[in-house]
Amino acid sequence: MFDIWVPPTDREAARQIHERISNLTKPLGSLGRIEELAERLAAIAGGPLPSPYPRRAIVVGAGDHGVTAEGVSAYPSEVTAQMISAFLGEFAAINAFARMARAEVYVADFGVAGELVAHPRLLDAKVGRGTGNLACRAAMSESDVDAALAAGLRVYAEVEARAHPQVIALGDMGIGNTTSAAALICAFTGETPEAIVGRGTGLDDDGIRRKIAVVERALQRVGEGAGWRRIAAELGGYEIVGIAGVLLGAAAARTPILLDGFIVAAAALLARAIAPNAIEYCIAAHRSRENGHALALRALGLSPLLDLDLRLGEASGAALAFPLIEAAARMVCEMKTFAEAGVATAHEPIEA
Amino acid sequence: MFDIWVPPTDREAARQIHERISNLTKPLGSLGRIEELAERLAAIAGGPLPSPYPRRAIVVGAGDHGVTAEGVSAYPSEVTAQMISAFLGEFAAINAFARMARAEVYVADFGVAGELVAHPRLLDAKVGRGTGNLACRAAMSESDVDAALAAGLRVYAEVEARAHPQVIALGDMGIGNTTSAAALICAFTGETPEAIVGRGTGLDDDGIRRKIAVVERALQRVGEGAGWRRIAAELGGYEIVGIAGVLLGAAAARTPILLDGFIVAAAALLARAIAPNAIEYCIAAHRSRENGHALALRALGLSPLLDLDLRLGEASGAALAFPLIEAAARMVCEMKTFAEAGVATAHEPIEA
């Protein structure tokens, strides 16, 4: 049975950083969300920040979905393997953004159906070759859930050994996975399929109706009161459960985690059900245009840094937030306080 | 009399980039605001993008304000010169963010009252030593307005000669300048002082009431139908008019411009009154927490990229958007199309 302990973050370290930020040469609170981010990074680090967080990794979890048989995606399943070739060939969106962010991209195959060519940054974490069709039956067995979580921990350990990341971004690739993610988000938050199901990669109105009906059917099968293992087995994708495992591994290692969009939010809800402290290590990089992502983030208690109308996945939105991590760290470590700089503070009398 | 011609941007180049973006290996439109940004960059470049825009400059325009005598700022005027020392000493917020963005910081002194020590990146563009108190009289003469605009053009030319920037961020430093900026924004947009005046660096409720009264008095003196030169003379700050000059110089040179917050929005409104095409070269980096910034951006027809509750100035918000410029350029220049990559598109039949 899969189990993991994640330590709480360090509130005292966050308080100390808050104190320092309050004395930096700028009006109190004037760097808004960047200050909040620095405090969260301090709580995670439990001491000095490894500014400017030079070692950065991106892990894209990949898997295929039997539910594509229901016509819930605008793209055929083959595209999952084709896009992985694009990631490893370094000409996809995530590669362009990773170069900007100076981050290394790893792909973890948790359950791709098609054949993949070996590559140094393709990590084999395969649990199966595409899930069962969640419209009709459980996507995977409960022991597959444990296997995918354990595979996620191994993926984190491998990335840790190779790249020693000081911050990690998590993303997804899997044709059909917005259906699985929507079902998981409904199950973990109690929201309705109408509120959560969205267009994915570009579904039309008929497609959306089909997708809502599929999610409703699957949720009825799960029923009320199911535990996280049963929910994940019925509704999951191999990559979504795997990403939850990577997240738990990173959190257990006290590494800050940039969450990408809708799919990763579903993985984070699963991770929270397993180890609630894990969410303290998470930073919501952006709000996706996909319906229901905002509700999933609210359920996680996370407020997104960016809102750029993205709906791609691949960790593309998460990668865009690395510079904000660097900015927050540099703010804390490179700015002087009023006293250090000899600048007058707001408390001195105003000239009149 | 100050005059400048700014060419329109190249819509055909934007259309061509749009066409390419539509064929990249990702769902149509799935990179949202990053795609829009790439199209604007293409219109500005009028051809291939200089990806990843490695040469980046930040210009912080500085000046002092006679209106501080009215108690409209939480800080004394001396802080303007002290903060410039911090910028040149490289330990202020803008320096931390500039290092993240790999951008060079220049400070242009358009009208600081205090003494400044010479420094290679302090550009002398002085028009006066602090403006007159706009609560009682014109902040400067109309010939000062022309002089500050011309000084801004010289600042841009100097930065161009030294750093050859492919993208420039504009910011401000000047205790009291949110009062001047609020008055200018009201005059250029027709909005009321109640809608536009905000807390600046941290004013209390009494202070806000004083500030609104000051802006109302100044606007009454200007009256209806005044031209941009008269408006700028009555309400301006040397640095706000100077920043408008830098903006016009950058636009005339077809350099994309990242706008910082509230003060720079006032400068952009002035620049637009002088040369409407100039705004086509502008990218609103962020929405400030300062009251009225959102209305000023709407009047400019610009939608901000970031919304991080910042209210610092110094170009700090603008600097945080450099990585998005890089990401947009890399997306266009480094991603392959579906045809180039051999990936199936959404138009192929869905498996069922």
DSSP assigned state of A62: E
**Cβ neighbours for A164, distance < 8 A, ≥ 6 positions apart:** A55
Residue A348, pLDDT > 80, answer no
Q: Which of A71, A73, A310 sits opposite B30 (nearest CB)?
A: A310
Given an 8 Å threshold on Cβ–Cβ distance, is B327 in contact with A344? Answer: no
Write the pLDDT tens digit of every residue in B172-184: 999 999 999 999 9
Which residues 38-57 on chain B approach chain A with CB closer than 8 angstroms? 52
Structure-token match 């930065």, residue found: B159
pLDDT at residue number A80: 97
Report CA-CA distances (Å) from B67 to B51, B233, B277. Answer: 43, 14, 32
Within chain B, which residues score under 70 in pLDDT? Answer: 346-352
Residue A8, pLDDT > 70, answer yes
CB A175, CB A83: distance < 8 Å: no
Q: Return the structure tokens found at A288.
A: 């996706």
Given an 8 Å threshold on Cβ–Cβ distance, is A331 in contact with B307? Answer: no
Given an 8 Å threshold on Cβ–Cβ distance, is B334 in contact with A95? Answer: yes
CB A300, CB A284: distance < 8 Å: yes
Residue A60's DSSP bridge partners are: A107, A171
CB B342, CB B351: distance < 8 Å: no
Given an 8 Å threshold on Cβ–Cβ distance, is A82 in contact with B343? Answer: yes
A69 touches B at CB < 8 Å: yes
pTM of the model: 0.97
Q: Within 13 Å and on the Cβ side, how many CA atoms surround B286?
A: 32
Give the integer Cα–Cα distance in Å for A322 and B100.
10
pLDDT at residue number A350: 37
Which of A65, A184, A57 is CA-nearest to residue A123?
A57
A311 touches B at CB < 8 Å: yes
**Cβ neighbours for B97, distance < 8 A, ≥ 6 positions apart:** A327, A330, A331, B316, B319, B320
The residue type found at A275 is A
- Sign for the CA dihedral angle at A30, A34, A40, A46 comes to negative
Give the integer Cα–Cα distance in Å for B335 and A94.
9
A294 touches B at CB < 8 Å: no
Average pLDDT in the A141-168 region?
A: 98
Angle at A153 between CA A152 and CA A157, to 5 degrees: 115
What are the contacts of B335-338 at 24+ separation with CB within 8 A? Answer: B335/A91, B335/A92, B335/A93, B335/A95, B335/A96, B335/B24, B335/B25, B335/B26, B336/A86, B336/A91, B336/A92, B336/B24, B336/B25, B337/B20, B337/B23, B337/B24, B337/B25, B338/B23, B338/B24, B338/B25
pLDDT at residue number A18: 98
pLDDT at residue number B78: 95
Which of B21, B104, B98 is CA-nearest to residue B338?
B21
Which of the following is catalytic: B290, B314, B326, B334? B314
ipTM: 0.96
The mean of the pLDDT values for chain A is 96
pLDDT at residue number A346: 67
Residue A352, pLDDT > 60, answer no
Write the pLDDT tens digit of every residue in B264-278: 999 999 999 999 999
B339 touches A at CB < 8 Å: no
Greater pLDDT, A313 or A200: A313
Q: Determine the distance in angstroms separating the CA of A226 from the nearest CA of chain B, rounded to an integer.
A: 30
pLDDT at residue number B346: 67
In chain B, residues with a C-beta closer than 8 Å to the C-beta of A289 are: 32
In chain B, residues with a C-beta closer than 8 Å to the C-beta of A74 are: 27, 346, 350
Q: Which residues of A are known to be catalytic?
A: 314
DSSP assigned state of A111: E
Span A56-324 CATH architecture: 3-Layer(aba) Sandwich (3.40)
Domain positions in chain B are 56-324
In chain B, residues with a C-beta closer than 8 Å to the C-beta of A21 are: none
CA dihedral B25, B30, B36, B38 (to 10 degrees): -30
Question: Torsion-angle region of residue A188: left (phi > 0), alpha (psi -120 to 50) or beta?
Answer: alpha
